[in-house]
Amino acid sequence: MNILCLGAAGFIGSHLTGRLLSEGHNVVAVDYYDDKIKEWIGHKQLTVIKQDIREETWGLSELVQESDLIIDLIAYANPGLYVKIPLEVFRLNFTENLKIAQICQKFNKRLIQFSTCEVYGKTPTSILNGHILDPDNPSYAKFGEDTTNFILGPVNKHRWIYACAKQLLERVLHAYGIEHEFNYTIIRPFNFIGPRIDYLLNETDGVPRVFSFFMDALLNGTQMKLVGGGHHRRCYTYIDDAIEAIYRIVMNPNGVCDREIFNVGSPENEISIRDLANTMRDIYSQEFRQDGIPLPEIVDVSPEEFYGKGYEDSDRRIPDITKAQTLLGWEPKWDTVNTVKTTMSYYVHEYRDLYEDQLWKHDIFQKALTSE
């Protein structure tokens, strides 16, 4: 297939580009940077176009017409950004993505649109303030693509602008499907992690996700911060499992993915952020720690202190993956510990040298040195 991949050089896009090339597809990769797809540059079936899709005219219509399938991964998907630049989050995640969908619809091309598990928002447990029997029952947090109601916070908690933008986009795609037989598939990722998830050291992305904050703390000897006590839970999904599901959606056997929404995630991998911090610290201590260097403290911080005003959190989200299991025969294979360990190993090897110069400036290391 000729595949146009928009946002190909992000975390998911870079892994997907590798897989599509290895399966023999021709890929046109569009992104405003190309660092994460460097290893494939020069591949004869890959065309890289460095482009900010927000610019007015840059030939998207022509590229869509030349493609059999369009995959749209363009997004701002880091919670720190939802609070800092909500208008730009709305513009990129809704307005710009809608333009792409409209061009696909105009030329009758299939679109795979990446959305988010954030559309589900919060659980009933979180809003019923203790007036619920058996509040920890996972069934309250198990979200199904076509059955679960969405619970988002108030407007002044503007973190939800991301979820809201993605939800609106999904609804518009659905409406195009009904009124114009537009062929789309929506993917809702549940906390994918793996190599290249975010940069550390605040290099480019500015506000990484929790894994990178914790990894940065481990390498740098600074504190691991638990926002709001670290009680919130996530299901971490190893990127290889995710790419397997996505590739099956790309291949769309017998059209089973036409106008469907898929959760992609590992329901068995649920972990609280507090347990994630402890697990990462334990793994670091056992596998990667350098002699004499102390492990970071784990401390509590308030959401406002960490993210600023307007932040609110998804308390818990577990994907119901029955649809992907039955229609695609997909099963995630990676457990939490191996997922986290493999991702950590990548960062330790990529970044340790970079950190080495800085480490010794820290008080914590100076103390370690003088006490030896």
Catalytic (active-site) positions: 162
Q: How far is the CB of 80 from ligand UDP (least distance, A)?
A: 7
29 contacts: CB under 8 Å, gap ≥ 6: 5, 8, 9, 13, 17, 37, 46, 47, 48, 49
Secondary structure of 229-267 in HEC code, one letter for each residue: HHCCEEECEEHHHHHHHHHHHHHCHHHCCCCEEEEECCH
Using CB under 6 A as the binding rule, whether residue 121 contacts ligand UDP is answered as: no
Query: How many alpha carbons lie under 13 Å from residue 102 in its C-beta half-sphere?
Result: 8
Considering beta carbons, is residue 5 or 227 the nearer one to ligand UDP? 227
Place of tokens 């649809």: 323
Which tokens belong to 10? Answer: 């992000």
Candidates 230, 267, 310, 319; binder of ligand UDP (CB under 6 A) is 230
* x-or-dash string of contact with ligand UDP, 5-34, rule CB under 6 A: ------------------------------
Candidates 110, 158, 166, 234; binder of ligand UDP (CB under 6 A) is 234
Considering beta carbons, is residue 211 or 334 the nearer one to ligand UDP? 211
Using CB under 6 A as the binding rule, whether residue 166 contacts ligand UDP is answered as: no
What count of other Cβ atoms lies within 10 Å of the Cβ of residue 345?
14
Q: How far is the CB of 147 from ligand UDP (least distance, A)?
A: 22
* x-or-dash string of contact with ligand UDP, 176-215, rule CB under 6 A: ---------------x-----------------xx--x--
Q: CA 50 to CA 31: how far, in whole Å? A: 5
Candidates 109, 142, 188, 225; binder of ligand UDP (CB under 6 A) is 225
Which tokens belong to 302? Answer: 């308030």
DSSP 8-state secondary structure symbol assigned to residue 200: S
User: Which residues, numbered 243-282, are part of the site for ligand UDP (CB under 6 A)?
Assistant: 273
Using CB under 6 A as the binding rule, whether residue 316 contacts ligand UDP is answered as: no
Q: CA 217 to CA 33: how far, in whole Å? A: 26
Considering beta carbons, is residue 82 or 182 the nearer one to ligand UDP? 82
Which tokens belong to 351? Answer: 């970044």
Bridge partners (DSSP) of residue 28 are: 4, 47
Which tokens belong to 355? Answer: 């950190």
* x-or-dash string of contact with ligand UDP, 62-91, rule CB under 6 A: -----------------x------------
Q: How far is the CB of 191 from ligand UDP (least distance, A)?
A: 5
Q: How far is the CB of 322 from ligand UDP (least distance, A)?
A: 22
Which tokens belong to 53? Answer: 């899709």
Candidates 109, 232, 281, 323; binder of ligand UDP (CB under 6 A) is 232
Considering beta carbons, is residue 65 or 204 the nearer one to ligand UDP? 204
Using CB under 6 A as the binding rule, whether residue 313 contacts ligand UDP is answered as: yes
Phi, psi at residue 314, to the nearest 5°? -75, 125
Q: How far is the CB of 225 from ligand UDP (least distance, A)?
A: 5
219, 355 Cβ separation under 8 angstroms: yes
Bridge partners (DSSP) of residue 114 are: 187
Residues of this chain that bind ligand UDP (CB under 6 A): 79, 191, 209-210, 213, 225-227, 230, 232, 234, 273, 313-314
